[in-house]
Amino acid sequence: MVVGAAGYVGGELLRLLDRHPHVTGWTATSRSQAGKRVGDIHPALARSDATFQGLSHAEAARAGDVVFLALEHGESSRIVPELVEAGAPLLIDLAADFRIADPAMHAAFYGAHPAPALAARFTYGLADVEPSRLRGATLIAAPGCFATAAQLALWPLAHAGLRAEPALFAVTGSSGSGAHPKPTTHHPARAHNLFAYSVLSHRHEGEVLQSWRRWTGRADAAARLMTHSGPFVRGIHLTLHARLAEPLAGDAGALVRAAFAGRPFVRVTGQPPELTHVVGTNDALVHAAATPDGRELQLMVVIDNLVKGAGGQAIQAMNLALGLDETAGLTGLGTFPC
């Protein structure tokens, strides 16, 4: 069951659920597209005969074992109480509404939370870093796309106990802006363009800092996420730069490999990762290098914003929550060149 399935994130969830070996069926709801063929809105599902449903929330909660919410920010808060009440066995929200547990931090980035008690019950679903938190979870907040890339870059530093105030430069493709045309996604203006936005104030910084501070145990730990829009459709490329308080002992690659040992979707590469190598996949590629004196670290992460940064990570979280193989339905997705 995917609620709000007419957008890019909803379409990506459906694409992945449709090929998931343990998913026997799916329902897609959309108020705006109710009655239309799913395949007419999402070309990747062109073979499907399904149509968008206009179910009530309670009906949605009862319609499947798992409910994914792919709604605009703020809408989830309005319907989650009813869905929880109706007894949805596993609810995964892909909006920002339940990502930040601390009411004060939530307020700083999004305003006062309409349902703070409920927010505290959600598990933040950063599957590649903290899979064990997701096992058995019933309320999951899927991380934001930029936030996923940022945390995958910060985690190796936290894991190794490195003190730093990193700068993170991230560039996203146009699909991150959603399915509705906007001036910033108008092809003549976007096609060969690159520009920063949300300067010093991107909302994903809230969830990034939440993890960074929890991981480091320092309530004032800082990191700066700088977001940019680039002239491609899919993917986020992120470069982290850090001046380390203590020089790095040993190899930067080993640092990253240790942080992600055994994680099936994170690959540490021997050279700077290319964005196109993850397009369409649930993979994250990570590469790190340090200066000879060990004082400076540069670390790159590439992900697909709609898969690892949205639908794929949500399904990975579902797999973990339900005790399935973590990789079920999430491999064999890549296409290259594309």
Catalytic residue annotation: 145
Strand 266-268 with 167-172, pairing: unpaired
Q: Looking at 54-62, 103-111, 149-157, 293-301, which segment touches a second copy (CB under 8 A)?
A: 293-301
Nearest in space to 158 (alpha carbons), one of 280, 244, 87, 29? 244
- Show the site string, 242-271: x = touches a second copy by CB under 8 A, - = not: -x-----------------------x----
Query: Of 93, 97, 128, 283, which one interacts with a second copy (CB under 8 A)?
Result: 283
Angle at 177 between CA 176 and CA 180, to 5 degrees: 135
Nearest in space to 246 (alpha carbons), one of 162, 159, 167, 166? 162
Specify the amino acid at residue 146.
F
Phi, psi (degrees; rounded to nearest 5) at 226:
-115, 120
How many residues are listed for the chain in this entry?
Answer: 338
Query: Of 21, 104, 132, 192, which one interacts with a second copy (CB under 8 A)?
Result: 192
Query: Of 133, 159, 214, 228, which one interacts with a second copy (CB under 8 A)?
Result: 228
Give yes or no for residue 37 binding a second copy (CB under 8 A).
no
Of 140 and 290, the one with the shorter C-beta distance to a second copy is: 290
**Residues of this chain, 108-137, that bind a second copy according to CB under 8 A:** none
Of 230 and 309, the one with the shorter C-beta distance to a second copy is: 230
- Show the site string, 2-21: x = touches a second copy by CB under 8 A, - = not: ------x--x---x--xx--
Q: Looking at 22-30, 68-76, 211-219, 225-233, which segment touches a second copy (CB under 8 A)?
A: 225-233
Question: Cβ 322 to a second copy, closest distance in Å?
Answer: 21
Q: Which two tokens stand for residue 231?
A: 């002239």
Give yes or no for residue 187 binding a second copy (CB under 8 A).
yes
Query: Of 121, 133, 159, 224, which one interacts with a second copy (CB under 8 A)?
Result: 224
Q: Looking at 25-33, 129-137, 184-192, 255-263, which segment touches a second copy (CB under 8 A)?
A: 184-192
Q: d(Cα 338, Cα 12) in Å, to the nearest integer? A: 17
Nearest in space to 42 (alpha carbons), one of 235, 277, 229, 311? 311
Give yes or no for residue 32 binding a second copy (CB under 8 A).
no
User: Are 70 and 4 a contacting pair, CB within 8 Å?
Assistant: yes
Question: Cβ 205 to a second copy, closest distance in Å?
Answer: 11
Give yes or no for residue 186 binding a second copy (CB under 8 A).
yes
Q: Which two tokens stand for residue 177?
A: 């802006």
Of 75 and 296, the one with the shorter C-beta distance to a second copy is: 296
User: Are 302 and 275 a contacting pair, CB within 8 Å?
Assistant: yes
3-state secondary structure 69-108: ECCCCCHHHHHHHHHHHHCCCEEEECCCCCCCCCHHHHHH
